[in-house]
Amino acid sequence: MAVTKKDKVIALKALEKDLKANQKACKAAWPEGSPLLSLCMQKAASVFESQLEKVLCSQGGKVAREAEKKVEHET
């Protein structure tokens, strides 16, 4: 099944939402200046980059479908 532009847009928006949620969780767990906060933020970025690569390499359809299911489950 071909990945459409819409699939990629949905996937990218879901990735952005997940990155922001991960960053928020990191900031809630450790104070500013903590080496653990820095490590957590780096890991959040690494996860984001890995998923972003999948989307941009035309695997966005799967990521988009997973994101849609997640959104439906949350509402």
The 10s digit of each residue's pLDDT in 3-54 is 788 888 899 999 999 999 999 999 999 999 999 999 999 999 999 999 999 8
10 close to 64: Cβ distance less than 8 angstroms: yes
pLDDT category at 1 given cuts 50, 70, 90 is low
Q: What are the residue ranges of helices labelled H in 30-59? A: 35-54
Ramachandran region of residue 73, left (φ > 0), alpha (ψ -120 to 50) or beta? alpha
